[in-house]
Structure 1
Amino acid sequence: MTPDDPTTPPGRPLDLPNISLAPKVVLHDHLDGGLRPATVLELAREVGYPDLPADDAESLARWFRDAADSGSLERYLETFAHTVAVMQTPSALRRVALECVRDLAADGVVYAEVRYAPEQHLARGMTLDEVVEAVLAGFRDGEAEAEAQGRPILVRCLVTAMRHAARSQEIAELAVRYRDDGVVGFDIAGAEAGNPPTRHLDAFEFMRANNAHFTIHAGEAFGLPSIHEAIAFCGTDRLGHGVRVIDDITLPPGTDLAAESFDGVELGQIANMVRDKRIPLELCPSSNVQTGAVASIAEHPFNVLARLRFRVTVNTDNRLMSDTTMSKEFYRLAQQFGYGWADFERFTVNAMKSAFIHFDERLALIDDVIKPGYAVLVG
């Protein structure tokens, strides 16, 4: 046994009920990928959207999960047609944002950066600004409710541009325009193949010129070239997923991916740069399996990257499609790699250090919320 072994006393057992009590930080969570199935059904009825693949919440939840289990990022992304379709009014966006905060707070999340693509919510006449204002209003509603219930949470958002479209400059300007109201950064997302991040250099240059943060979906489906471009040419602050950085790490034959140390590994130039510069990896274990970025949780490079001291963070990506929560992601990793409370405290501090809010706010959450919260669990 090691001090981090979840079966080792003292400390509470590392099971789902206790994990739900642990303070958690999520940096990579999509608003349109986290709706409650019942809400999708109700909003579809309100707006007259007839194309849902199921007519009860349980069946709809199962459909989203099964449809996302395709092993293809492109097919995975197709499931969002249904959630985006019912998020086309200010009231719908505000409700979805409020419920997002409720669900994260109930799972013990104390800080969240939730992302969405404003350009996908204009079908019924909203402007980009109206989309952002509705979502921010919902986040504020949720924060106030959580505070009143004794489960305070701070929620900020990233506005995302679709990498196959041509509105990234507008979205970057939107991020800067609302930077003092709750938008803390910019992102690009969508199918990586054929849509390199360098297509959006103007937007990234605009963000840098305005001293603003951004992350880039890279290294999920397309591998090292995507990571290289995101870092070397675009100057990203974080890597959305970044899981394929493992392709630049040579492991000895027969290496046990669940080992506690990795001797004899060789890091290539990209992997060394990611680690040396402490570029955060927004890893999403369950989603990475669903999209085919990795074959299984057992084969996920999370443990290799964590033990080699990359700045790994744990994230949900899309809670609806992956039928997941932060607690479930922690539990799956604990079951597979034998992590204990000290490991999850480190991953959580990693995430908080990497957040796009100011240093004093990050430090306060680490010192006043995260560390005391884990101290209670360790005993």
Structure 2
Amino acid sequence: MDIGQFIKGMPKVELHAHLNGSLSTKTLIELGKLEYGESNNEFQRICESFQQKQEFTLEECFKKFPIAHALTKTKDGLRRALLSVIRDFALDNVVYLELRTTPKTTTKMSKTEYLETVFETIRLASSMYPDICVKLLPSIDRSKGIEFAKDTVHLVLKALKTHADLIKGIDLSGNPASGSFNDYTKILSEARNNNLKLALHCAEIDNDGETYEMLQFGMDRCGHGTYMSSQNLNIAKEKQIPIECCLTSNVKCGTVKSYQEHHFKNLYSSKHPVVLCTDDSGVFDTTLSEEFIIAQKTFDLKKKDLEVLSLRAVDVSFASPLEKEVMKTKICKYFYD
């Protein structure tokens, strides 16, 4: 078995994946046909443009987001989309998935209905795809403002009464240039005080002052960590804050010039807790297997490194102790049987 085949068969842990961004082009086309029918000329034109290309510009990649949002505005559409995403991760031998989505009001659903549909679908998926364990990190979209954030967190805290087994934390994401992080510290503290973990997009853009504020406030995991000064990186290392590295996302977005220059190399070589993730696997046309393959080729990783990365992802996940034990058993069995 070559290393690529080995990686594809490897039990993997995905800790940074956004629902709408994880809808593959193939899935968007499948869902679009169900939603709009074969005869919708505009949708057919969009589908054909996706099918004809192997590579997309960043602008074209992001054209997938409005389509994904349109396809998840109804309960049925959201259910189909979520099941498709879970199916695709399961097919990639992902055994544990922490999925992020912003509870939203659409023309067909309230925020409460949106969130309840997600819970129902994750529970349905557990019987359809029993080899993958799915948890939820509801997202605060900072581009929507602090009142939207407060409403989201209070909705999530209410849902904890019946869905504590599925809700593992809060994600802070959205346009990193929107607003000030200090606007969100009170509501994030409320979430943390109610035993929710914090997975914050941090140092996603070059904003050293805000990165410092975020690191001082504290988080359970850092999303991206791309633009960290030596001072801020030292703080992250002192606090042992795990960093979620999304290689293809960063390279295609241009926040990192190349795979060879990705900060993953420095983090991993310094033994800092770092994990490989997809971010938006559908938008950027990747899989978690592909991210591991890229890292293996680019940084000359050995099988022992792949094992270390896999077990580290388990350690820094928000899974329960029993769930972590199950995952570690699967990973060790794969590497040593």
Answer whether TM exceeds 0.5 for this pair.
Answer: yes
Using the alignment, how far apart are the partners of 1:354 and 1:168 within structure 2? 25
Using the alignment, how far apart are the partners of 2:184 and 2:85 within structure 1? 29
* SS state at 1:112 partner: strand
2:225 aligns with 242
Question: Are 1:243 and 1:281, in contact at CA under 8 Å, matched by a contact in 2?
Answer: no
Alignment root-mean-square deviation, CA: 2.3
Question: Are 1:61 and 1:320, in contact at CA under 8 Å, matched by a contact in 2?
Answer: no
Q: After the TM superposition, which of the residue ranges 211-220 and 196-205 deviates more from structure 2?
A: 196-205
1:25 counterpart (13, 24, 38): 13
Using the alignment, how far apart are the partners of 2:246 and 2:210 within structure 1? 17
2:91 counterpart (101, 106, 113): 106
Do structure 1's residue 164 and structure 2's residue 143 form an aligned pair?
yes
Do structure 1's residue 206 and structure 2's residue 194 form an aligned pair?
no
Q: After the TM superposition, which of the residue ranges 219-228 and 79-88 deviates more from structure 2?
A: 219-228
Do structure 1's residue 304 and structure 2's residue 288 form an aligned pair?
no
* SS state at 1:191 partner: coil
Using the alignment, how far apart are the partners of 1:24 and 1:81 within structure 2? 29
Question: Are 1:175 and 1:185, in contact at CA under 8 Å, matched by a contact in 2?
Answer: no
CA distances 1:295-342 after superposition (whole Å, capped 9, x unpaired) = 111111111110011110000011111110011000011111100211
Structure 1 residues 77, 197: closer, same or farther in 2, change over 3 A? farther
Q: 1:294, CA displacement in angstroms? A: 0.4
Q: Percent identity?
A: 28
1:256 aligns with none
* SS state at 2:227 partner: helix
2:157 counterpart (176, 193, 203): 176
Q: 1:290, CA displacement in angstroms? A: 1.5
Structure 1 residues 375, 205: closer, same or farther in 2, change over 3 A? same
2:47 counterpart (50, 53, 56): 56
Question: Are 1:96 and 1:138, in contact at CA under 8 Å, matched by a contact in 2?
Answer: no
Using the alignment, how far apart are the partners of 2:289 and 2:123 within structure 1? 23
Structure 1 residues 224, 50: closer, same or farther in 2, change over 3 A? farther
Using the alignment, how far apart are the partners of 2:41 and 2:209 within structure 1? 41
Q: How does 1:1-379 map to 2 (within 5 A)?
A: 12-15=1-4, 17-45=5-33, 47-48=35-36, 54-56=45-47, 59-60=49-50, 66-68=56-58, 79-119=64-104, 122-147=105-130, 152-166=131-145, 167-179=148-160, 180-233=164-217, 235-245=218-228, 247-248=229-230, 268=231, 270-366=232-328, 368-376=329-337
CA distances 1:147-188 after superposition (whole Å, capped 9, x unpaired) = 2xxxx1111011111111121112112332333151211112
Structure 1 residues 297, 53: closer, same or farther in 2, change over 3 A? farther
Question: Are 2:31 and 2:80, in contact at CA under 8 Å, matched by a contact in 1?
Answer: no
Question: Are 1:64 and 1:321, in contact at CA under 8 Å, matched by a contact in 2?
Answer: no
Q: 1:143, CA displacement in angstroms? A: 2.4
Using the alignment, how far apart are the partners of 1:28 and 1:335 within structure 2? 22
Structure 1 residues 184, 64: closer, same or farther in 2, change over 3 A? farther
Question: Are 1:221 and 1:292, in contact at CA under 8 Å, matched by a contact in 2?
Answer: no
Using the alignment, how far apart are the partners of 1:98 and 1:87 within structure 2? 12
Q: How many positions carry a matched residue from both structures?
A: 329
Structure 1 segments, 4+ long, off by >6 Å, are none
Q: 1:213, CA displacement in angstroms? A: 1.0
Using the alignment, how far apart are the partners of 1:225 and 1:63 within structure 2? 40
Q: After the TM superposition, which of the residue ranges 76-85 and 274-283 deviates more from structure 2?
A: 76-85
Question: Are 1:283 and 1:312, in contact at CA under 8 Å, matched by a contact in 2?
Answer: yes
Aligned residue type for 1:56: C
Structure 1 residues 130, 98: closer, same or farther in 2, change over 3 A? same
Using the alignment, how far apart are the partners of 1:312 and 1:81 within structure 2? 31
- Unaligned runs of 5+ residues in structure 2 are none
Q: 1:91, CA displacement in angstroms? A: 1.0
TM-score normalised over the length of structure 2 = 0.89
TM-score normalised over the length of structure 1 = 0.80
Aligned residue type for 1:97: L
CA distances 1:99-125 after superposition (whole Å, capped 9, x unpaired) = 111111111111110101112xx2223
Q: 1:64, CA displacement in angstroms? A: 9.7
CA distances 1:34-61 after superposition (whole Å, capped 9, x unpaired) = 113243234445555976594436x326
* SS state at 2:259 partner: coil
Q: Whose helix fraction is larger, Structure 1's or Structure 2's?
A: 2
Using the alignment, how far apart are the partners of 1:315 and 1:131 within structure 2? 25
